[in-house]
Copies of this chain bind each other. A is one copy, B any other.
Amino acid sequence: MVDFIFFISVSGYVIFPKVQLKNPVILSDFYVFQTCVLFIQFIEAIVVLVRQTSHLRVTRALRPIFLVDCRYCGAVRRNLRQIFQSLPPFIDILLLLLFFMVIFAILGFCLFSANSADPYFSTLENSIVSLFVLLTTANFPDVMMPAYSKNRWSCIFFIVYLSIELYFIMNLLLAVVFDTFNGVEKMKFKSLLLHKRSAIEHAFQLLVSRQRPDGVCLKQFDGLMRFYRPRMTPQDRFLTFKALNHSGATMLSLQDFYKFYEVIGLKWKVSFTHCHMIILPGCMLNSPEPEHMVYMCVAGSSSLLTVGVSWTRVVPWSYIIFLTIYGIEVLLKITGLGPLTYFSSGWNLFDFSVTVFAFLGLIALAFDMEPFYFIVVLRPLQLLRLFKIKQRYRNVLDTMFELFPRMASLGLTLIIFYYSFAIVGMEFFADVVYPNCCNTSTVAQSYRQINVTIGNRTMLEEGYYYLNNFNNILSSFVTLFELTVVNNWYITMEGVTSQTTHWSRLYFMTFYIVTMVVMTIIVAFILDAFVFRMNYSRKNREPLDDPEGSKCLESRSSDDMFNKMIFLGRRSRTKCDLSMKMYEEEIQEWYEEYSRTNLQPDETFHRELDSPEASATNSVN
């Protein structure tokens, strides 16, 4: 019944808005797929209603595709698309991997099946499964041991197999995914860039008046902005116009107008001097030079103290003094910069939370609150301040802050796969493993739960693996996480297999391959982001702008209206800015190519740009 309600609501959500919009996008692959799934679910719901009994409802695993189709899951949708795009080369290498696996399985079966003490190669099926598990190294020395104890030279078989498969072909897989992923990323960036350019040209054509066809005046620009960003203040609109207007003429040329998307995200603030408008001590703390010195002494000595006092309940006065200094610094900065500006920087947030945690620890200690470990753990966190000193750690943490949105969307993608597999697992494997089950399998040991009496003491000897089950969605998620980490995953697989059929292995192997793809892409992505950033900071010798990782743009409005004040616009630097810098030369080529052919950019991006709120920069990230 719940299913039927779900079906009705989803069909209302998916089908009807599309019919209303009469958008050509309705015919894209994704929607065809969605409609098919909906149709299958509809038939299934009717069958369930007619028979009035439940059955294996694996189609529930497909539900997340409706969730993905909301506005907030745009990044997840793009991730899924990228994963499917990097599949063809991935599959090529996977076939190579499996081919060698099968050859080695046959060889292993022929070599080791004579040994009755060797359960890993007793049949050809066992042989293939053993070598598949060996690919993940999860059964490594054990799979070799029976053969190795018979003949010492049999280790060569395993060393050769691992060298070829694990150390060569698996790396090749990573390289291919890494490369394809980068290629797709670059193509996406190019497509978006050209689309923006054509949008700007189109807007320019609409904005220029017939009398003056080579420029946009302030009034027209103001009208555009009132439509494009209704909440912008008139002052900000004027400043944006000024920032675009490099030539100093009264009108914006097309060249000026090309910078539209770079300038539009800036937040404007009055700046009296080059330093921020804060009182002296705050200014001192804000400039990088003394900060380094302060941190070198303070964090160094403080860290020594915290390490020293971590294990006692006695708090030396010096610790409290240092903490007070940190507290004052944080307060000064907040009053000086204002809470909003202060908390918009990742580094300030980091400072603030470390200090607040330290104070919390102190208060907890003062009131003699339990648990004590809470305090003990909070103190070493003070050491995190040290990471601000070294350039490499700053880079690492900066990159982490920048990576975070993307990592979150990749994590969400992984969770969607988890959900689908969890549903299938729950349908097939719920309640199949329990303590002392699986006695027919080779892993019975891990599921055993017996009382052992040693001397006069009775102990419960537990194998615990019965806890890795698919009984409910939370247990399933934990079990799937354990399968993702790979180590000892074959114990769960063999346990479930011994209680069901041999075909269950297909589920676990498929899951391994799917998570391998997703994890490889996550690894490739982290790798790419860091290598990119390190290259970038090497290419532009100066350190990466200011510590807050933001992009500044001055708009010196020397009009009377603003009394010769200098306005500073800032926004956080996105990967788009880095890409602009990295592909500088190629971008010129793309533009030239574009202006020659003047073709419409890729169709797929129409949809993203339909809603003006979804800012273009976000959709690159």
Contact = CB atoms under 8 A, between A and B. Distances in A.
Interface of A: 89, 92-93, 96, 99, 102-103, 106-107, 109-111, 117, 137-142, 145-146, 148-149, 152, 155, 159, 162, 166-168, 171-172, 174-176, 178-179, 183, 310, 371-373, 376-377, 380-381, 383, 387, 390, 392-393, 396, 400, 460, 462, 464-465, 467-468, 474-475, 478, 481-482, 485-488, 491-492, 519, 522-523, 526-527, 530-531, 534-535, 538
B111 A373 contact: yes
Nearest to A310: B106
A146 to B, nearest CB: 7
A178 B462 contact: no
Contacts of A523: 167, 171, 174
A155 B380 contact: no
B464 A383 contact: no
A92 B394 CA distance: 12
Contact of A141 (B145, B172, B488): B488
Contacts of A538: 183
B137 A485 contact: yes
Given A99-B383, A107-B377, A377-B110, A139 B487 contact: yes
B172 A96 contact: no
A519 to B, nearest CB: 8
B110 A373 contact: yes
Given A140-B488, A141-B468, A464-B148, A106 B481 contact: no
A359 to B, nearest CB: 19
Given A109-B373, A110-B376, A139-B487, 13 more contacts: A103-B380, A106-B310, A106-B373, A140-B482, A140-B485, A141-B482, A141-B492, A145-B465, A146-B464, A148-B478, A178-B527, A179-B531, A179-B535
A176 B522 contact: no
Given A148-B464, A393-B92, A478 B167 contact: no
B527 A175 contact: yes
Contacts of A109: 373
Given A96-B393, A531-B175, A106 B376 contact: yes
Contacts of A93: 392, 396
A467 B149 contact: yes
A259 to B, nearest CB: 27
A410 to B, nearest CB: 11
Nearest to A144: B482
Contacts of A392: 89, 92-93
A413 B377 CA distance: 41
B174 A527 contact: yes
Which 5 pairs between the two chains have the least Cβ-Cβ distance? Answer: A110-B373, A145-B464, A175-B530, A140-B487, A137-B487
Contact of A486 (B137, B381, B383): B137
18 contacts: A93-B396, A96-B387, A110-B371, A137-B485, A141-B465, A145-B464, A148-B464, A148-B478, A155-B478, A159-B481, A162-B485, A168-B526, A171-B526, A172-B396, A172-B530, A175-B530, A176-B534, A179-B530
B474 A152 contact: yes
A136 to B, nearest CB: 8
A382 to B, nearest CB: 11
B96 A377 contact: no
Nearest to A387: B96
A417 to B, nearest CB: 15
Given A178-B531, A373-B110, A462-B117, A102 B487 contact: no
A172 B526 contact: yes
A381 B107 CA distance: 12
Nearest to A153: B474
A550 to B, nearest CB: 23
Contact of A487 (B141, B372, B396): B141
A194 B160 CA distance: 41
Contact of A171 (B137, B474, B527): B527
Contacts of A175: 526-527, 530-531, 534
A339 B380 CA distance: 70
A149 B462 contact: yes
A373 B113 CA distance: 11
A88 to B, nearest CB: 9
A171 B396 CA distance: 12
Nearest to A111: B373
